[in-house]
Structure 1
Amino acid sequence: MSSKKNIRHLSLNELQDFFTQNGEKAFRAKQVYEWLWLRHATSFEQMTNLSKSLRAYLENHFTLPAIQIGTTQQSSDGTIKNSFRLFDGNIVEGVLIPTDNRQTACVSSQVGCSLSCKFCATGYMDRKRNLDFDEIYDEVALLNQQALAQSGKKLTNIVYMGMGEPLLNYNNVLKSIEKITSPDGLAMSPKRITVSTAGVAKMIRKLGDDQVRFNLALSLHAANDKKRSEIMPINDSNSLKELIDALNYFYKKTGNEISFEYILFKDFNDSQKDADELIKIYRQVPVDLVNVIEYNPIDNALFRKPDMDATDIFMDYLAKHKVNARVRRSRGKDIDAACGQLANKQKTTQTTV
């Protein structure tokens, strides 16, 4: 077990203290800090405005466990899926979704997931660990580099909709967003960031208390407790009433945008009765948008997506009742990069650190 500390877990002030206590000028800390966050250095050797001896000194005292891209797959629609190899051999996946006017990064917050949602490939994995804030930052920085290389355009949006439940890795998710939005980092607007949750009422309220500035999406997928508990076991301990109360509390505290995610499953949640139940919940929360998502098949589940006519009928009914809803067509299906398909099919190599 290494006793060296991850240098990215030090604040700028802590770095300054380290340098002055070791006979170096305090301004060196700012140089290193810029390399770590603004320039996204992945090794001490890249910090070329430091002397070789100072770089070696840092190498001897700290680790810099930046994540690496393992494999990359490109979909016929331009979507790019990456496997990211972590310092301990674990793998997570992240996706770059380019459109005419957006470059969206979909990032993971955990290795695996503990929630066991029946329609989600990640839900059939065990949760191995949370990602550290700097690992989440790495995902975004690497996807930003990929966007620039592919199109010459920087990321415009970030969604925490990859592997894992972000609100069960609360502190690291918030700290990663703090770094992503910092002028010393990627300087992105928090209004361009959406955190998606399967519904942890207590933590949604905490987001309100912490007065976060990013947007929130609830993975709803069924609008009554019986059906929702069938496909999302977390609903047993976080009922729809609790979630409605928590979302209203979040909005009262922050005023931030709230959206619903609703995957349509054939003969399960696509009837007029299901639409009526969705409308009822929509009217109890200041929801900006309902994203109705086409289902993407996974190996372990028997769900099917409705045919186009059934989807159109469902959407027309929502529109008739003045629900702001849109169908979100899935991208990257041919490379298992679409919503619910991130399964980390590669073999991980666990190492001891």
Structure 2
Amino acid sequence: MKTLREHTLEELEALMVSWNEPKFRAKQIYEWIWDKYTNDIQQMSNLSKALREKLAEHFALNTVAVDHVQTSSDGTVKSRFVLHDKHFIEGVLIPTEKRLTACVSSQVGCSLTCKFCATGYMKRVRNLEAQEIVDEVMLINEQAFKSFGKHLTNIVFMGMGEPLLNYKNVMKAIEQITSPDGMGMSPRRITLSTAGVAKMIRQLGDDQSRVKLALSLHAANDKKRNEIMPINESNNLAALVDALNYFYQCTKTHVTFEYILFKGFNDSEKDADELIRIYRKVPCDLVNVIEYNPIDNAQFEKPDEQATDEFMAYLTAHKVNVRLRHSRGKDIDAACGQLANVNLRTMEEKLNMQEPS
């Protein structure tokens, strides 16, 4: 059964007209879905009983629900959400002095098998629908207002899954989130983080996307990147450089590099030199150096503070705009790369029972 929540206001208006209902009914339905956040068509009390029954006959609501919440000592909030088909995803609310950021998922599991990421050790079961992504954002937004008295200021697609492999639904969700009828958030406050899907980076350019783009780089030569990110074998650094330059030509939006430091793997002066060369080949305005967060399945380690400082200082001396991103929510496994970590075995059992769609 199709979900009613995936329809835009214009699509609902067309539906009402086709059913010989007044056009304003669409606005009423839309308000029940997005303002009152109902999970039951029968609760739409300002609709006639006949219309409610017809809607229920043709559509489901398929809302996302909060299943479990953990709060970190630093204020970070991690939520496990349950979907209508009983699958789970995780999302994170990250509070700072100036921002309230939602880190959201775009897939149930992931197909990319990055060696440092907990989600990479899970199967990809399916893509999230656009309305499920919006629901996820709306629920985190509710948490932000309840806990901090403010709404979300930023959204990052850095949770479970590869957003560019769920392109249609992610872009439709962003359209809803940025719409005046939705949250009205500026696209410039939304960041898509990709492991590097060159074809879809170009598609972002063709579509004149206004969101920010971050590339999860983590190694600046193909040999090392192949080792930790198998997607690099089909989307190597040369292809990504071309795609990022194309994206910039189309959108005039600079990109960000994300670079997790792994002890003894990508933290040497030679590694820094390779990173500098890539940095200078693309319109990159920032390198986020990220602290590694341990997961059960991987054997990587975080460099000590001195090694990290030296790596940062070397980049700075070579005129790289670099920032160290400290981990948030590490004590509840909500930090970068840790989503689904604690519940990995339980979730794997559930996910492995399903075939990818």
TM-score range normalised by the length of the shorter chain: over 0.9
In the TM superposition, what are the counterparts of 1:1-353 in structure 2 within 5 Å?
Answer: 4-343=1-340, 344-345=343-344, 346-347=346-347, 348=350
Unaligned runs of 5+ in 1: none
**Cα distance, 1:255 vs structure 2:** 1.0
Q: CA deviation at 1:256?
A: 1.5
CA distance, structure 2, for counterparts of residue 279 and residue 38 of structure 1: 47
Which sits farther off after the overlay, 19-28 or 263-272?
A: 19-28
Cα shift readout 1:202-237 (whole Å, capped 9, x = no counterpart): 110111011100000000000111111100001111
Instruction: Give the Cα–Cα distance (whole angstroms) in 2 for the partners of residues 258 and 39 of structure 1.
Output: 37
What's the offset of the Cα at 1:40? Answer: 3.5
Write the deviation string for residues 263-298 of structure 1: whole angstroms up to 9, x where unpaired: 000000000000011011111111111000000000
Deviation at 1:18, TM superposition (A): 3.0
Structure 2 CA distance for aligned equivalents of residues 85 and 315 of structure 1: 40
Kindly state the Cα deviation for residue 127 of structure 1 after the two structures are TM-superposed. Answer: 0.5
Normalised by the length of structure 1, the TM-score is 0.95
How far has the Cα of 1:34 moved from its partner?
2.8
3-state SS of the aligned residue for 1:288?
A: strand
Q: Aligned equivalents of 1:243 and 1:77: distance in 2?
A: 35
Q: TM-score, normalised by structure 2?
A: 0.94
Alignment gaps of 5+ in structure 2: none
Which region of structure 1 is more displaced relative to structure 2, 151-160 or 35-44? Answer: 35-44
Are the structure 2 counterparts of residues 30 and 312 from structure 1 closer, same or farther at C-alpha, using a change threshold of 3 Å? same
Q: Is the Cα contact below 8 Å between 1:223 and 1:277 reproduced in 2?
A: yes
Partner SS, residue 58 of structure 1: helix
Shift of 1:165: 0.5
Query: 2:284 is paired with a residue of what secondary structure?
Result: coil
Question: Secondary structure of the equivalent of 2:46?
Answer: coil
Q: Which deviations, in whole Å up to 9, do the C-alpha atoms of 1:139-197 show, x marking residues without a partner?
A: 10000000000000100000000000011101011111000000111110000000000
**How far off is 1:38 after superposition?**
4.4
Cα root mean square deviation, aligned? 1.6
Classify the secondary structure of the residue corresponding to 1:327.
Answer: strand
Q: Deviations over 1:12-56 (max 9, x none)?
A: 344234323434211101221233234443332443433455434
- Amino acid in the other structure paired with 1:340: G
Partner SS, residue 235 of structure 2: coil
Which region of structure 1 is more displaced relative to structure 2, 43-52 or 63-72? Answer: 43-52
Once the two structures are overlaid, the 10-residue window that deviates more, 13-22 or 219-228, is 13-22
Distance 1:104 1:19 in 2: 36
Taking only the aligned residue pairs, the percentage that are identical comes to: 66
**In 1, distance between residues paired with 2:250 and 2:74?**
39
Measure the CA separation in 1 of the matches of 2:14 and 2:178.
25
Residue 250 of structure 1 aligns to which amino acid in structure 2? Answer: F
**C-alpha distance in 1 between matches for 2:278 and 2:26:** 51
Distance (whole Å) between structure 2 residues aligned to residue 130 and residue 249 of structure 1: 27
